[in-house]
Each structure stands twice: as C-alpha cells, then as structure tokens.
Structure 1
Amino acid sequence: MINNSDTISQSFSEKKRKDLMASLAIDALGMATYLVPALGETADVIIAPIISILIYAVHRTTLGAIAGFLEELIPFTDIIPSATIIWFYRYYLKSDSTFNDFVEKYRKKNSIKIKSQN
C-alpha cells in the first residue's frame, strides 16, 4: 500500500515535470516569431501579453509574468528562456518553499474531496 507521503511526492514530481514541459513550450512560443522572416520583433507586441498570461497560469507569479512580458518586448531578448528560468528558480532554488506550498494545496484539495463524498 502506498502511504500518503509517497502519493504527495509522486504528485509533486508529476507537477514539476508538467510545469517544465509547459515552461519549455512557452519559451518556444516566444522564440517562434523569429521563424517567419521580418515578423520577429513586430509579432512580439502581440505575443508578449500571451506569454505573460501563460507564465502566470503555470507559475502563479506576477513578477515572473511581468519579466516574461518585458523580455518579449525588449528587442533581441527572445533567446532568454524566461519561463524555464522561473521554473528552475521555483523547483531548485526555492524547492522547499515550492514543495511546502504544493503540500498545503494538495491536502486542502483532498480534504474537500473527502468531505464532499460523505
């Protein structure tokens, strides 16, 4: 039988992996404007708010969303993988805090599920 801490660790690992995949996709979208010649920096005006919203949706950080927005607007900075840097910051530099936040949300979410089943 799997205990609760194993379930939480597995769920956290899965979220970590999904967030990495989402971050890489966001960064790829930000760089994709350079695939069409002469579109590059002009398209960034349209892409910047989309990137910002996606970063916020994945990482729940206003500062990160603003950084992603500015990175898209500043010419020739699309090469910077903002979303992936934010992912690295959350899951490696602030790993304990990120894990503790996840556990708190996980327990709250699952206690609601248990109560609603009764």
Structure 2
Amino acid sequence: MKTLKNKLLIKGLMYDVVGMATMAIPLVGPFLDIAWAPYAAKQMSEMYPGKKGKIASVLVFIEEILPFTDFVPSFTLMWLYTFVWKKETMENEIIIEAEIV
C-alpha cells in the first residue's frame, strides 16, 4: 500500500510541476495549457478512479485551462485529500475485520 501511495504522490508532483512550468514560458505558456488541460484531466481520472476522480478531473481541467491558476497544485491536493484528510483505502487493499467473541 505504501508503494502505491508513494507512486501516486511522485506522479502527482511531476504533473503539478509540468502544469506550473507552462506558466513560466512567456507567450507560449497559455497555448501549452490548451493541450495540457485535457491530458491532465485524463491522468487525474486514471490515477483516482470513481466519482472523486471524475470530479477531480473536471476541476484540474478548469484549473489548467484558466489563465493565472497554474500555481494550484491540483494533483498534490487530491493526494492529500485521498490519503491524509479522508484516509481512504485503495481498491486493492485488503481489510480484515475481527469479531470479538
């Protein structure tokens, strides 16, 4: 489980860096965002399946397509929401419940 969490965090940090880097390129950056926004949304929905992934993918698309919002670390915030604030388990994690008799 730790490795999946770590992989998602590292992948998310890399996507956030790429999304922020487009802001640093004058004149060309906004046009790169037009191509980056759908790709980022697709990656978000693949990284976090289900309803929360779909909602996050819409939000990351809007964040990337709007000018001057590239500084928001959407992927990192989603990771924090999933693994720190909500403390949800992933689908492949096995939960064993024990009954006290």
TM-score (norm 1): 0.71
Q: Distance between the aligned counterparts of 2:3 and 2:22, measured in 1?
A: 30
The aligned residue for residue 5 of structure 1 is: none
Mapped to 1, the partners of 2:36 and 2:26 lie a distance apart of 16
Residue equivalent to 2:56:
64
Partner of 2:9: 20
Structure 1 residue aligned with 2:85, among 81, 93, 97? Answer: 93
Aligned residues: 92
Root-mean-square deviation over aligned CA pairs: 1.7
1 or 2, which has the higher helix percentage?
1
8 Å Cα contact 1:56/1:64 also seen in 2? yes
Q: Larger radius of gyration, structure 1 or 2?
A: 1
- Pairwise mapping of residues 34-53 of structure 1 onto structure 2 (< 5 A)? 34-53=23-42
After TM superposition, which residue ranges in structure 1, 4 or more long, deviate above 3 angstroms? none
Unaligned runs of 5+ residues in structure 2 are: 96-101
Deviation, structure 1 residue 36: 2.6
- Per-residue CA shift, 1:36-86, capped at 9, x if unaligned? 321122221111001101111112210000100000011100000001000
CA distance in 2, matches of 1:100, 1:29: 26
Higher relative contact order (CA 8 A, sep 6+): 2
- Per the alignment, residue 99 of structure 2 pairs with none
- Shift of the alpha carbon at 1:100? 6.0
2:73, 2:58 → 1: CA distance?
A: 14
Q: Among 93, 96, 99, which residue is 1:103 paired with?
A: 93
Preserved contact between residue 22 and residue 58 of structure 1 (Cα < 8 Å): no
Q: Distance in 2 between matches of 1:38 and 1:79?
A: 17
User: Which whole-Å CA distance do the structure 1 matches of 2:47 and 2:83 have between them?
Assistant: 13
